[in-house]
Amino acid sequence: MYTKEKVRRKRLYFARATNLNLKKDQVFKLYNKVRTPIETSYSIIKTFLPFTSSTKYIFRTLIFTPAIFTYSLYTILKTT
């Protein structure tokens, strides 16, 4: 399945595949329902990250882990 959508004044095609027995519009609704929170939470996690230009995997992992922990605390405290 594919859709033609406008992104920044350009018409782009987006493809989505599934093994579910759903209609085209149901697949797009389900995809957007699942995908949007994932992208939103990732962009919020990035705000907790300090800027680094290091290419070392272990260093970037050590920075990313506390950012996820901080974001998790933020979401728990925000909901209570």
**Domain ranges across the chain:** 2-79
Least trusted range by pLDDT, from 45-49, 67-71, 72-76: 45-49
Least trusted range by pLDDT, from 8-12, 52-56, 67-71: 8-12
C-alpha distance from residue 13 to each of 1, 4, 6, 7 (Å): 10, 5, 9, 10
C-alpha 53/C-alpha 62 separation (Å) is 14
What pLDDT, on the 0 to 100 scale, is given for residue 53? 79
Q: Calculate mean pLDDT across residues 24-33.
A: 82
What pLDDT, on the 0 to 100 scale, is given for residue 80? 66
Task: Give the global pTM.
Answer: 0.48
Q: Is residue 63 a contact partner of residue 52, using CB atoms and an 8 Å limit?
A: yes
C-alpha 33/C-alpha 27 separation (Å) is 10
